[in-house]
Chains A and B, each alone.
Chain A
Amino acid sequence: MKKEIKFEDALNKLESIVRKLESGQVELDESLKLFEEGTEFVKFCSNKLEEVKRKIEILTKKDDKIVKEPFDEGQN
């Protein structure tokens, strides 16, 4: 699965796969494929949710330039 895919898009795709499967109009071969694909999206979405990546930065003016600095939460 492409890494660039947006969380929303993955979730939407997952939903449409489930709907398609639920319609009952799908042959075994295709439903195998859809199931596999759907599981990938589930994995992708869950991973996105679990990703722990916390970063807080603040923009400050220095010599008329705006620069990005880490924000010390203790200050606050």
Chain B
Amino acid sequence: MNEEKVKIYTVTELTQLIKNHLEKKFIDIWLTGEISNYKMYSSGHAYFSLKDENSQINAIIFSNDLQSVKFRVEDGQKVIVYGRISIYAKRGEYRIVVTYIEPIGKGALQIAFEQLKEKLAKEGLFDTSRKKPIPLLPQKIGIVTSRDGAALRDILTVLKRRFANVEILIYPVKVQGEEAKYEIAEAIKYLNDNYKELDVLLVGRGGGSLEDLWPFNEEIVARAIYNSKIPVISCVGHEIDFTIADFVADLRAPTPSAAAEIVIKSKQELKDRISGLYSRLRNCFNYVVNSVFQRMNEIINTNMFRNPQILIEEKTLILDDLSTDLNNSIKHLFEIKFRDFKILSEKINTLSPLSILSRGYSIVWKLPENIIIKDSKKVCINDNLKIKLFKGELESKIIKITE
């Protein structure tokens, strides 16, 4: 071997040479392939391979780049990545350092949306059973949106037009950009912690691109809405835009204006409902009162109340009958007694002392005692006597007594 002709490298030298050569050449690479052996390390970096039918290449994505990947990278996904080739000298390996990754077919955001939606649905964050009812007549309304955005303007316009009698508390937040999700989540939590008396929260923003609306597709926002004790109405973008926030919210309003309408919609409806109830109340009551009156009328219209004399007439008739009966009975009784009396008085006549006197007997009384004398021993000489004859009376004095 001729040392002057042949350059002998050390491993490091050669590796360095290759490294310099390749890393300079492949610094701006777009690469497509299928992900396999994807693995996250505790460092936050992720290692994986990209392969096609015949080849594969190792890949790494560092944590700070991984954070901006909206969707969850999984084995089997077909992706386009952007990056540069890097040589790992220690192992003599080359790989691609990925700084951007995007799924093929659906957009990254679309995939992220579906993945988060599926995950949260599995956890039950969208269950209708846990959705809180929106109060019929919210008086205190919290609004979480941008201070200068269309959403706030629209909401306030509706409230003003409807003469809504509400108290509004605005918590201004960024509604797009990286910070937005934290601010929105924090606002929801803050209002729950400090303004429990709020009846409802409107959380949203005006229309925009999918990227603009993205904060409302973030898990941290979804969880903040889920954890809110105050009912949340989401109102993000336009009618056609559906966000994760819409699925978690207790109610989704198609737009911020619609959210405002929902909050106070009820006013006229409620007025109608109350006046409906009031007339039902009055009708019922009238019905009850009328039926009582009707019953009273029926009672009043019975003969007894209308012609009370009828009752008396009847009694009078009965009374008359009875008194006639009584008269007859008494008359009859009297006749019987009178006849008896006549018979008796004739009998008595025959027994009367007068009839004895007529036959010559007299009755003698001692005076002044008026005692009938039947025994001469009961009188003394000179006693006065009264003597009743058949016709007339005599007064005499005793001049002699014999036994």
Contacts and interface: CB of A to CB of B under 8 A. Distances in A.
A71 B148 CA distance: 12
Contact of A31 (B171, B172, B285): B285
Contacts of B89: none
A13 B171 CA distance: 35
Contacts of B310: none
Interface in A3-62: 6-8, 11, 14-15, 17-18, 21-22, 24, 26, 28, 31-32, 34-35, 38-39, 42, 45-46, 48-60
Interface of A: 6-8, 11, 14-15, 17-18, 21-22, 24, 26, 28, 31-32, 34-35, 38-39, 42, 45-46, 48-60, 66, 68, 71, 73, 76
Nearest to A35: B285
Contact of A49 (B148, B168, B171, B267): B267
Interface of B: 135-137, 139, 147-148, 152-153, 156, 159-160, 163-172, 190, 194, 267, 270-271, 273-274, 277-278, 280-282, 284-285, 287-289, 292
Best-buried of B190, B267, B282 by chain A (most CB within 10 Å)? B282
Taking each of B147, B159, B277, which has the highest tally of chain A beta carbons within 10 Å of its own beta carbon?
Answer: B277
Contacts of B190: 59, 66
B135 to A, nearest CB: 6
Nearest to A69: B170
Contacts of A50: 165
Top 9 nearest A-B pairs by Cβ distance? A21-B284, A35-B285, A58-B170, A31-B288, A7-B137, A55-B167, A38-B281, A56-B168, A42-B278
Nearest to B268: A49
Contacts of A38: 277-278, 281
Main secondary structure of the interface of B (DSSP, over half): helix
A76 B270 contact: no
Contacts of A73: 156, 160
B292 A28 contact: yes
A17 B285 CA distance: 11
B172 A45 contact: no
Interface centre among B153, B165, B277, B284 (most CB of A within 10 A): B284
A41 to B, nearest CB: 8
A61 to B, nearest CB: 9
Contact of A71 (B135, B170, B278): B170
A18 B280 contact: yes
B121 to A, nearest CB: 30
Nearest to A17: B281
A59 B280 contact: no
Given A31-B284, A31-B285, A54-B165, A45 B270 contact: yes
B169 A21 contact: no
Nearest to A31: B288
Contact of B165 (A14, A51, A58, A66): A51
Contacts of B282: 35
Contacts of A8: 135-137
Contacts of A66: 190, 194
